[in-house]
Structure 1
Amino acid sequence: MSEPQDWAPYTSIADAAKVYLRDPELALDQLRSLVDFPTVTSFIMSRGVTNEQWGEALWQEVVLTEGRRLIIWRADDEMSADGRESRQLLEASVRTIALSTITDHILTTEFDVLSDGTRRLAEVRLRMYTQLLTRTRQKSAVDTDLFCESFRYVKTVDNGGLAQMQRLLQFGRVLSRSL
Protein backbone atom coordinates (compact mmCIF):
# COMPACT_ATOMS: atom_id res chain seq x y z
CA MET A 1 0.00 0.00 0.00
CA SER A 2 1.26 3.45 -0.82
CA GLU A 3 2.57 5.78 1.89
CA PRO A 4 0.08 8.53 2.64
CA GLN A 5 1.00 12.18 2.99
CA ASP A 6 0.97 13.63 6.49
CA TRP A 7 -2.44 14.94 7.51
CA ALA A 8 -1.20 17.13 10.38
CA PRO A 9 -0.30 20.28 8.40
CA TYR A 10 -3.92 20.58 7.22
CA THR A 11 -6.44 22.47 9.35
CA SER A 12 -9.36 21.40 7.15
CA ILE A 13 -10.65 17.91 7.86
CA ALA A 14 -11.55 17.52 4.16
CA ASP A 15 -8.06 18.47 2.97
CA ALA A 16 -6.39 16.23 5.56
CA ALA A 17 -8.59 13.26 4.64
CA LYS A 18 -7.86 13.64 0.94
CA VAL A 19 -4.08 13.34 1.41
CA TYR A 20 -4.07 10.75 4.22
CA LEU A 21 -6.97 8.31 3.91
CA ARG A 22 -7.31 5.67 1.23
CA ASP A 23 -11.09 6.18 1.22
CA PRO A 24 -11.48 9.92 1.87
CA GLU A 25 -14.82 10.44 0.07
CA LEU A 26 -16.47 7.65 2.05
CA ALA A 27 -15.15 9.07 5.34
CA LEU A 28 -16.16 12.62 4.49
CA ASP A 29 -19.66 11.63 3.32
CA GLN A 30 -20.33 9.60 6.46
CA LEU A 31 -18.92 12.29 8.78
CA ARG A 32 -20.79 15.10 7.00
CA SER A 33 -24.06 13.33 7.77
CA LEU A 34 -23.36 13.86 11.50
CA VAL A 35 -21.43 17.11 11.81
CA ASP A 36 -21.00 20.40 9.99
CA PHE A 37 -17.28 20.59 9.28
CA PRO A 38 -16.96 24.30 10.21
CA THR A 39 -18.05 23.40 13.78
CA VAL A 40 -15.21 20.86 14.25
CA THR A 41 -12.85 22.24 16.89
CA SER A 42 -10.17 19.55 16.57
CA PHE A 43 -9.45 16.23 14.88
CA ILE A 44 -6.83 13.51 14.59
CA MET A 45 -6.27 10.73 12.08
CA SER A 46 -4.59 7.34 12.20
CA ARG A 47 -4.12 4.41 9.89
CA GLY A 48 -2.20 1.18 9.84
CA VAL A 49 -1.70 -2.11 8.10
CA THR A 50 -2.25 -5.54 9.61
CA ASN A 51 -1.29 -8.86 8.08
CA GLU A 52 -4.26 -11.18 7.91
CA GLN A 53 -4.42 -14.75 6.64
CA TRP A 54 -5.68 -13.41 3.32
CA GLY A 55 -3.15 -10.58 2.96
CA GLU A 56 -2.55 -7.01 4.06
CA ALA A 57 -5.51 -5.21 5.59
CA LEU A 58 -5.73 -1.46 6.11
CA TRP A 59 -7.53 0.26 8.98
CA GLN A 60 -8.24 4.00 8.92
CA GLU A 61 -9.61 6.26 11.62
CA VAL A 62 -10.74 9.87 12.01
CA VAL A 63 -11.57 11.18 15.48
CA LEU A 64 -13.09 14.61 15.89
CA THR A 65 -14.97 16.83 18.28
CA GLU A 66 -17.12 19.89 17.97
CA GLY A 67 -17.21 20.45 21.73
CA ARG A 68 -20.18 18.23 22.60
CA ARG A 69 -19.42 14.86 21.06
CA LEU A 70 -16.55 12.57 20.22
CA ILE A 71 -17.19 11.32 16.68
CA ILE A 72 -15.12 8.37 15.45
CA TRP A 73 -15.09 7.17 11.85
CA ARG A 74 -13.30 3.88 11.33
CA ALA A 75 -12.89 1.66 8.29
CA ASP A 76 -11.33 -1.80 8.23
CA ASP A 77 -10.53 -4.16 5.38
CA GLU A 78 -12.27 -7.45 6.15
CA MET A 79 -12.91 -10.79 4.51
CA SER A 80 -16.49 -12.08 4.37
CA ALA A 81 -17.19 -14.87 6.82
CA ASP A 82 -20.70 -15.85 5.80
CA GLY A 83 -19.90 -19.22 4.22
CA ARG A 84 -20.48 -18.02 0.67
CA GLU A 85 -17.70 -17.27 -1.73
CA SER A 86 -15.00 -15.34 0.09
CA ARG A 87 -14.77 -11.69 -0.83
CA GLN A 88 -12.91 -8.73 0.53
CA LEU A 89 -15.02 -6.08 2.26
CA LEU A 90 -14.52 -2.57 3.57
CA GLU A 91 -16.40 -2.17 6.83
CA ALA A 92 -16.92 1.48 7.79
CA SER A 93 -18.64 2.78 10.90
CA VAL A 94 -19.28 6.10 12.59
CA ARG A 95 -19.62 6.23 16.35
CA THR A 96 -20.89 9.19 18.35
CA ILE A 97 -20.14 9.49 22.06
CA ALA A 98 -21.33 12.34 24.26
CA LEU A 99 -18.33 14.05 25.87
CA SER A 100 -20.33 14.03 29.11
CA THR A 101 -19.79 10.24 29.30
CA ILE A 102 -16.01 10.63 29.47
CA THR A 103 -15.06 10.20 33.11
CA ASP A 104 -11.27 10.32 32.90
CA HIS A 105 -8.93 11.90 30.39
CA ILE A 106 -5.15 11.54 30.53
CA LEU A 107 -2.83 13.43 28.18
CA THR A 108 0.77 12.31 28.63
CA THR A 109 3.88 13.74 27.00
CA GLU A 110 7.24 12.02 26.99
CA PHE A 111 10.45 13.89 26.22
CA ASP A 112 13.94 12.73 25.31
CA VAL A 113 16.55 14.62 27.32
CA LEU A 114 19.46 15.39 25.03
CA SER A 115 23.12 15.55 26.07
CA ASP A 116 23.00 19.37 26.26
CA GLY A 117 20.04 19.20 28.65
CA THR A 118 17.39 20.26 26.15
CA ARG A 119 14.21 18.26 25.79
CA ARG A 120 12.71 16.93 22.59
CA LEU A 121 9.12 15.70 22.34
CA ALA A 122 9.25 11.93 21.83
CA GLU A 123 5.72 10.63 22.44
CA VAL A 124 2.19 11.84 23.12
CA ARG A 125 -0.48 9.54 24.58
CA LEU A 126 -4.15 10.32 25.03
CA ARG A 127 -6.31 7.96 27.07
CA MET A 128 -10.00 8.46 27.66
CA TYR A 129 -12.19 6.35 29.90
CA THR A 130 -15.96 6.46 29.74
CA GLN A 131 -18.82 5.31 31.92
CA LEU A 132 -20.03 3.10 29.05
CA LEU A 133 -19.93 -0.52 30.24
CA THR A 134 -18.45 -3.03 27.81
CA ARG A 135 -18.64 -6.09 30.06
CA THR A 136 -18.90 -7.26 33.65
CA ARG A 137 -17.43 -10.20 35.52
CA GLN A 138 -18.94 -11.49 38.73
CA LYS A 139 -16.15 -12.30 41.19
CA SER A 140 -18.36 -13.41 44.06
CA ALA A 141 -21.96 -13.16 45.26
CA VAL A 142 -21.40 -9.52 46.26
CA ASP A 143 -18.45 -8.38 44.12
CA THR A 144 -18.49 -7.64 40.39
CA ASP A 145 -15.77 -6.21 38.14
CA LEU A 146 -16.99 -3.55 35.72
CA PHE A 147 -15.12 -2.87 32.48
CA CYS A 148 -15.75 0.46 30.80
CA GLU A 149 -15.07 1.62 27.24
CA SER A 150 -11.72 3.32 26.80
CA PHE A 151 -9.91 4.93 23.91
CA ARG A 152 -6.16 5.24 23.44
CA TYR A 153 -4.26 7.27 20.87
CA VAL A 154 -0.47 7.40 20.56
CA LYS A 155 1.80 9.41 18.30
CA THR A 156 5.59 9.13 18.40
CA VAL A 157 8.59 10.36 16.46
CA ASP A 158 8.44 7.13 14.43
CA ASN A 159 4.63 6.85 14.32
CA GLY A 160 3.37 10.13 12.88
CA GLY A 161 6.23 12.47 13.69
CA LEU A 162 6.36 15.85 15.39
CA ALA A 163 3.41 17.45 13.60
CA GLN A 164 1.03 14.58 14.47
CA MET A 165 2.29 14.57 18.07
CA GLN A 166 1.50 18.29 18.29
CA ARG A 167 -1.94 17.75 16.78
CA LEU A 168 -2.68 14.98 19.32
CA LEU A 169 -1.64 17.39 22.09
CA GLN A 170 -3.98 20.02 20.63
CA PHE A 171 -6.82 17.48 20.38
CA GLY A 172 -6.32 16.37 23.99
CA ARG A 173 -6.32 19.98 25.21
CA VAL A 174 -9.49 20.80 23.27
CA LEU A 175 -11.18 17.78 24.87
CA SER A 176 -10.01 18.88 28.33
CA ARG A 177 -11.63 22.28 27.84
CA SER A 178 -14.83 20.63 26.60
CA LEU A 179 -15.31 18.11 29.41
Structure 2
Amino acid sequence: MGAPQDWAPYSSVSEAARVYLRDPDLALDQLRSVVDPAAIRSFVMSRGFTEEPWGEALWQEVMVTDGQRLIMWRADDDVSGDVDGGEPRRVLLASVRSILLSTITDQVLSTEYDVLSDGTRRLAEVTLRLYTQLIVRSRQKSATETDVYCESFRFVKSVDNGGLAQMQRLLQFGRVLSRAL
Protein backbone atom coordinates (compact mmCIF):
# COMPACT_ATOMS: atom_id res chain seq x y z
CA MET A 1 0.00 0.00 0.00
CA GLY A 2 1.26 3.45 -0.87
CA ALA A 3 0.67 6.60 1.12
CA PRO A 4 -2.81 6.60 2.64
CA GLN A 5 -5.51 8.85 1.26
CA ASP A 6 -7.64 11.01 3.51
CA TRP A 7 -10.54 9.01 4.96
CA ALA A 8 -12.68 12.03 5.85
CA PRO A 9 -14.43 12.51 2.48
CA TYR A 10 -15.93 9.01 2.70
CA SER A 11 -19.29 8.46 4.38
CA SER A 12 -18.93 4.70 4.88
CA VAL A 13 -16.43 2.99 7.16
CA SER A 14 -15.75 0.44 4.45
CA GLU A 15 -14.77 3.00 1.80
CA ALA A 16 -12.74 5.05 4.27
CA ALA A 17 -10.88 2.01 5.61
CA ARG A 18 -9.94 0.87 2.11
CA VAL A 19 -8.15 4.13 1.28
CA TYR A 20 -6.67 4.87 4.71
CA LEU A 21 -5.77 1.69 6.60
CA ARG A 22 -2.99 -0.72 5.77
CA ASP A 23 -5.14 -3.64 6.98
CA PRO A 24 -8.69 -2.69 5.95
CA ASP A 25 -10.05 -6.23 5.51
CA LEU A 26 -8.97 -7.22 9.03
CA ALA A 27 -10.44 -4.03 10.52
CA LEU A 28 -13.74 -4.40 8.67
CA ASP A 29 -14.09 -8.11 9.50
CA GLN A 30 -13.45 -7.50 13.18
CA LEU A 31 -15.80 -4.48 13.31
CA ARG A 32 -18.55 -6.42 11.47
CA SER A 33 -18.29 -9.12 14.13
CA VAL A 34 -19.64 -6.68 16.74
CA VAL A 35 -21.65 -4.05 14.82
CA ASP A 36 -23.83 -4.01 11.73
CA PRO A 37 -22.24 -1.49 9.34
CA ALA A 38 -25.70 -0.02 8.64
CA ALA A 39 -26.05 0.83 12.37
CA ILE A 40 -22.90 2.99 12.43
CA ARG A 41 -23.89 6.62 13.01
CA SER A 42 -20.43 8.19 12.91
CA PHE A 43 -16.76 7.20 12.80
CA VAL A 44 -13.22 8.55 12.92
CA MET A 45 -9.87 7.02 12.02
CA SER A 46 -6.26 7.58 13.01
CA ARG A 47 -2.92 6.06 12.24
CA GLY A 48 0.69 6.78 12.94
CA PHE A 49 4.16 5.42 13.30
CA THR A 50 6.39 4.80 16.28
CA GLU A 51 10.07 4.00 16.25
CA GLU A 52 10.77 0.73 18.03
CA PRO A 53 14.11 -1.00 18.71
CA TRP A 54 13.29 -3.44 15.91
CA GLY A 55 12.18 -0.79 13.39
CA GLU A 56 9.23 1.38 12.46
CA ALA A 57 5.84 0.24 13.77
CA LEU A 58 2.43 1.28 12.45
CA TRP A 59 -0.63 1.73 14.67
CA GLN A 60 -4.13 2.05 13.23
CA GLU A 61 -7.44 2.94 14.91
CA VAL A 62 -11.08 3.09 13.90
CA MET A 63 -13.67 4.44 16.35
CA VAL A 64 -17.36 4.04 15.54
CA THR A 65 -20.61 4.55 17.39
CA ASP A 66 -23.99 2.96 16.85
CA GLY A 67 -25.62 5.36 19.31
CA GLN A 68 -25.38 2.87 22.18
CA ARG A 69 -21.70 1.90 22.17
CA LEU A 70 -18.29 3.31 21.43
CA ILE A 71 -16.55 0.60 19.40
CA MET A 72 -12.81 0.85 18.92
CA TRP A 73 -10.67 -1.24 16.60
CA ARG A 74 -6.93 -0.93 17.05
CA ALA A 75 -3.99 -2.72 15.45
CA ASP A 76 -0.33 -2.35 16.34
CA ASP A 77 2.82 -3.74 14.76
CA ASP A 78 4.87 -5.54 17.40
CA VAL A 79 7.26 -8.43 17.89
CA SER A 80 6.48 -11.65 19.66
CA GLY A 81 8.60 -12.88 22.54
CA ASP A 82 11.39 -15.35 22.02
CA VAL A 83 9.55 -18.67 21.53
CA ASP A 84 11.45 -21.95 21.95
CA GLY A 85 14.79 -20.20 21.63
CA GLY A 86 13.94 -18.90 18.16
CA GLU A 87 14.16 -15.39 16.87
CA PRO A 88 11.37 -12.98 17.81
CA ARG A 89 8.95 -12.53 14.92
CA ARG A 90 6.94 -9.54 13.82
CA VAL A 91 3.23 -9.70 14.60
CA LEU A 92 0.15 -7.55 14.19
CA LEU A 93 -1.87 -7.21 17.40
CA ALA A 94 -5.50 -6.34 16.65
CA SER A 95 -8.43 -5.87 19.00
CA VAL A 96 -12.01 -4.65 19.09
CA ARG A 97 -13.37 -3.03 22.22
CA SER A 98 -17.00 -2.09 22.91
CA ILE A 99 -17.88 0.40 25.63
CA LEU A 100 -21.47 1.23 26.50
CA LEU A 101 -22.07 4.95 26.10
CA SER A 102 -23.97 4.80 29.39
CA THR A 103 -20.59 4.29 31.13
CA ILE A 104 -19.29 7.63 29.82
CA THR A 105 -19.63 10.15 32.62
CA ASP A 106 -18.13 13.21 30.95
CA GLN A 107 -17.34 14.36 27.44
CA VAL A 108 -15.28 17.40 26.48
CA LEU A 109 -15.20 18.51 22.86
CA SER A 110 -12.63 21.31 22.57
CA THR A 111 -11.72 23.44 19.60
CA GLU A 112 -8.67 25.64 19.16
CA TYR A 113 -8.61 28.42 16.59
CA ASP A 114 -5.73 30.42 15.17
CA VAL A 115 -6.59 34.13 15.15
CA LEU A 116 -5.30 35.60 11.91
CA SER A 117 -3.95 39.14 11.47
CA ASP A 118 -7.27 40.33 10.01
CA GLY A 119 -9.11 39.05 13.10
CA THR A 120 -10.69 36.01 11.47
CA ARG A 121 -10.38 32.60 13.05
CA ARG A 122 -9.18 29.38 11.49
CA LEU A 123 -9.80 25.97 13.07
CA ALA A 124 -6.42 24.62 14.24
CA GLU A 125 -7.20 21.64 16.51
CA VAL A 126 -10.10 19.53 17.77
CA THR A 127 -9.81 17.36 20.88
CA LEU A 128 -12.43 14.93 22.14
CA ARG A 129 -12.00 13.64 25.68
CA LEU A 130 -14.22 10.91 27.09
CA TYR A 131 -14.19 9.99 30.77
CA THR A 132 -15.80 6.77 31.94
CA GLN A 133 -16.75 5.16 35.22
CA LEU A 134 -14.68 2.09 34.30
CA ILE A 135 -12.05 1.70 37.03
CA VAL A 136 -8.62 0.78 35.68
CA ARG A 137 -6.69 0.96 38.96
CA SER A 138 -6.79 2.29 42.49
CA ARG A 139 -4.17 3.29 45.02
CA GLN A 140 -4.71 3.37 48.74
CA LYS A 141 -3.38 6.65 50.13
CA SER A 142 -4.26 6.02 53.77
CA ALA A 143 -6.54 3.87 55.90
CA THR A 144 -9.51 5.99 54.85
CA GLU A 145 -8.52 7.42 51.45
CA THR A 146 -8.14 5.71 48.09
CA ASP A 147 -7.38 7.28 44.73
CA VAL A 148 -9.48 5.71 41.98
CA TYR A 149 -8.42 6.02 38.33
CA CYS A 150 -11.06 5.61 35.65
CA GLU A 151 -10.61 4.84 31.95
CA SER A 152 -10.45 7.88 29.71
CA PHE A 153 -9.90 8.39 26.00
CA ARG A 154 -8.50 11.30 24.02
CA PHE A 155 -8.82 11.80 20.28
CA VAL A 156 -7.04 14.69 18.56
CA LYS A 157 -7.04 16.04 15.02
CA SER A 158 -5.22 19.18 13.94
CA VAL A 159 -4.01 21.06 10.90
CA ASP A 160 -0.84 18.94 11.01
CA ASN A 161 -2.57 15.71 12.11
CA GLY A 162 -5.31 14.99 9.59
CA GLY A 163 -6.22 18.45 8.35
CA LEU A 164 -9.48 20.37 8.21
CA ALA A 165 -11.73 17.56 6.95
CA GLN A 166 -10.63 15.17 9.71
CA MET A 167 -11.04 17.91 12.34
CA GLN A 168 -14.59 18.48 11.10
CA ARG A 169 -15.29 14.73 11.20
CA LEU A 170 -14.02 14.54 14.81
CA LEU A 171 -16.36 17.42 15.68
CA GLN A 172 -19.23 15.51 14.05
CA PHE A 173 -18.27 12.31 15.90
CA GLY A 174 -18.19 14.14 19.24
CA ARG A 175 -21.59 15.71 18.58
CA VAL A 176 -23.14 12.36 17.66
CA LEU A 177 -21.76 10.86 20.88
CA SER A 178 -23.04 13.80 22.91
CA ARG A 179 -26.57 13.43 21.56
CA ALA A 180 -26.50 9.70 22.39
CA LEU A 181 -25.22 10.11 25.97
TM over 0.5: yes
Equivalent residue, structure 1, for 2:65: 65
Equivalent residue, structure 2, for 1:39: 39
* Per-residue deviation, 1:82: 4.0
Tell me whether 1:23 sits opposite 2:23 in the alignment: yes
Tell me whether 1:81 sits opposite 2:77 in the alignment: no
TM-score w.r.t. structure 1 length? 0.98
Q: Distance in 2 between matches of 1:2 and 1:172?
A: 30
Across the aligned residues of Structure 1 and Structure 2, the Cα RMSD in angstroms comes to: 0.9
* Per-residue deviation, 1:81: 1.4
- Which stretches in structure 1 are left out of the alignment for 5+ residues? none
- Which stretches in structure 2 are left out of the alignment for 5+ residues? none
Tell me whether 1:138 sits opposite 2:140 in the alignment: yes
- Deviations for 1:128-159, whole angstroms, at most 9, x for unmatched residues? 00000000000000000000000000000000
Amino acid of the structure 2 residue aligned with 1:22: R
Q: How does 1:94-133 map to 2 (within 5 A)?
A: 94-133=96-135
Tell me whether 1:56 sits opposite 2:51 in the alignment: no
Q: Distance in 2 between matches of 1:104 and 1:152?
A: 12
Q: Which runs of 4+ in 1 moved over 4 A?
A: none
> Does the residue aligned with 2:18 lie in a helix, a strand or coil?
helix
Equivalent residue, structure 1, for 2:7: 7
Q: Distance in 2 between matches of 1:151 and 1:2?
A: 30
Amino acid of the structure 2 residue aligned with 1:120: R
Q: How does 1:152-171 map to 2 (within 5 A)?
A: 152-171=154-173
Amino acid of the structure 2 residue aligned with 1:165: M
* Per-residue deviation, 1:3: 2.3
* Per-residue deviation, 1:90: 0.3
> Does the residue aligned with 2:160 lie in a helix, a strand or coil?
coil
TM-score w.r.t. structure 2 length? 0.97
Identity %: 72
Paired positions, count: 179
* Per-residue deviation, 1:85: 2.4
Amino acid of the structure 1 residue aligned with 2:159: V
